[in-house]
């Protein structure tokens, strides 16, 4: 039976029944903003494999939205989400209110450092401070020993690993591969904003990534009417710049707007030596 709780105290009580002892023993956390899809459920299934009690948090975190972004429009589907999680047999769903999470407003926050100002951070300068702050709070509130994040928000994942490392947080971070629809589009709660025509346009993104080549990907995306490219880059897996002449594993990342929807996607690629 999955318990749905809304306060830290109720969460502690719910967990006490499932942990090895009242306040100890491993806990796996899957942080989400709800509107759950197969991508989230895959994270939950990965978390369950560890055998620890699994907590799924559902919280649309105001701190990671800038004024004018889709905070109010962001889908809130708690009942449907809980039904999906019941079927996955999670120990508890933690669904706090903004007042519970930020009783003093955003006061002490986590600064993401320089990596928070590039790529997504250029367009959304306050976004990653909001993400890292809520993730750190969720780690503390749940006592998580393991936490699961999708590679879809790749910069977020790298920054969370960096925070755990820099702040010595005792949490193991598990990154899970992107889950895609049959047509190739990466699953995202924001895909529901796309019309059928916009979705068809958006498919250029996974097709571009599948070329594995920055030049070919750029050509394809530039030629796609209705798609407005924000960035397309190849970086090292830790998002640092590729040294000149580099060969080996890398990451290609793309952000583009289709209609009013901003879409992110990325893929691992292999940079090969040029053939003469
Ligand atoms: O990826 C998300 O859904 C959110 O950024 C997260 C990690 C749950 C923090 O609000």
- Where along the chain do its domains lie? 3-176, 191-267
Q: Does 153 carry a binding-site annotation?
A: yes
Q: How close is the Cα of 123 to the center of ligand 1, in Å?
A: 17
Instruction: Assess contact for 71 and 65: CB atoms under 8 A.
Output: yes
How far is 240 from 251, CA to CA, in rounded Å?
A: 10
Closest-lying ligand 1 atom to the alpha carbon of residue 138: 9
User: Average pLDDT in the 218-245 region?
Assistant: 97
Q: Output the pTM of the full model.
A: 0.96
Closest-lying ligand 1 atom to the alpha carbon of residue 31: 8
pLDDT, one tens digit per residue, over 51-101 is 999 999 999 999 999 999 999 999 999 999 999 999 999 999 999 999 999
Q: Does 151 carry a binding-site annotation?
A: yes
CATH entry 3.30.1300.10 includes domain 191-267:
yes
Q: Does 34 carry a binding-site annotation?
A: yes
End-to-end, the C-alpha distance of the chain in Å comes to 62
Q: Does 187 carry a binding-site annotation?
A: yes
Q: How close is the Cα of 146 to the center of ligand 1, in Å?
A: 15
Q: How close is the Cα of 212 to the center of ligand 1, in Å?
A: 27
Q: Which of 160, 107, 119, 100 is nearest to 136 (CA)?
A: 160
- pLDDT at residue 16, as a whole number: 86
What is the four-CA torsion angle of 257, 233, 162, 34, rounded to 10 degrees?
A: 20
What is the four-CA torsion angle of 210, 214, 188, 157, rounded to 10 degrees?
A: 110
Q: What is the mean pLDDT of the chain?
A: 95
Q: Look at ligand 1, atom 9, and give the residue with the nearest C-alpha.
A: 131
How far is 248 from 244, CA to CA, in rounded Å?
A: 12
Q: How close is the Cα of 31 to the center of ligand 1, in Å?
A: 6
Instruction: Assess contact for 249 and 270: CB atoms under 8 A.
Output: yes
CA-CA-CA-CA torsion sign (153, 255, 221, 37): positive
Instruction: Assess contact for 140 and 163: CB atoms under 8 A.
Output: no
Protein residues with CB under 6 Å of any ligand 1 atom: 31-33, 61, 64, 131, 134-135, 153, 156
- State which of 60, 62, 94, 134 you would mutate to test the pocket of ligand 1, scoring each by most atoms of that ligand within 8 A of its C-beta: 134
CATH entry 2.60.40.740 includes domain 3-176:
no
Q: Is the pLDDT of residue 194 over 70?
A: yes
Q: Which residues contact 7 (CB under 8 A, 6 or more apart)?
A: 96, 100
pLDDT, one tens digit per residue, over 200-212 is 999 999 999 999 9
Closest-lying ligand 1 atom to the alpha carbon of residue 150: 1
pLDDT, one tens digit per residue, over 22-62 is 567 899 999 999 999 999 999 999 999 999 999 999 999 99
């Amino acid at each position: 039976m999955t318990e749905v709780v809304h306060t830290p105290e109720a969460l502690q009580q719910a967990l006490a029944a499932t942990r090895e002892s009242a306040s100890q023993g491993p806990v796996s956390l899957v942080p989400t903003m709800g509107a759950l899809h197969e991508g989230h459920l895959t994270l939950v299934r990965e978390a369950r494999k560890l055998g620890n009690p699994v907590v799924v948090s559902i919280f649309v975190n105001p701190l990671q939205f800038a004024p004018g972004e889709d905070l109010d429009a962001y889908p809130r589907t708690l009942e449907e989400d809980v039904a999906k999680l019941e079927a996955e047999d999670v120990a508890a769903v933690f669904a706090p209110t903004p007042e519970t999470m930020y009783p003093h407003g955003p006061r002490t926050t986590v600064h993401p450092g320089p990596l928070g100002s590039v790529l997504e951070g250029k367009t959304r300068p306050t976004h990653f401070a909001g993400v890292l702050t809520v993730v750190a709070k969720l780690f503390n509130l749940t006592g998580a020993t393991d936490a699961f994040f999708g590679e879809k928000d790749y910069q977020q994942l790298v920054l969370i690993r960096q925070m755990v490392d820099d702040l010595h947080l005792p949490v193991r971070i598990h990154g899970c591969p992107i889950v895609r629809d049959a047509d190739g589009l990466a699953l995202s709660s924001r895909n529901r904003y796309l019309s059928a025509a916009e979705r068809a346009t958006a498919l250029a993104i996974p097709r571009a990534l599948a070329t594995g080549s920055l030049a070919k990907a750029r050509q394809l995306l530039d030629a796609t009417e209705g798609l407005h490219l924000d960035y397309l880059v190849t970086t090292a897996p830790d998002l640092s710049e590729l040294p000149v002449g580099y060969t080996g594993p890398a990451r290609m990342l793309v952000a583009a707007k289709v209609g009013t929807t901003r879409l992110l996607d990325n893929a691992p690629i292999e940079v090969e030596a040029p053939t003469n």
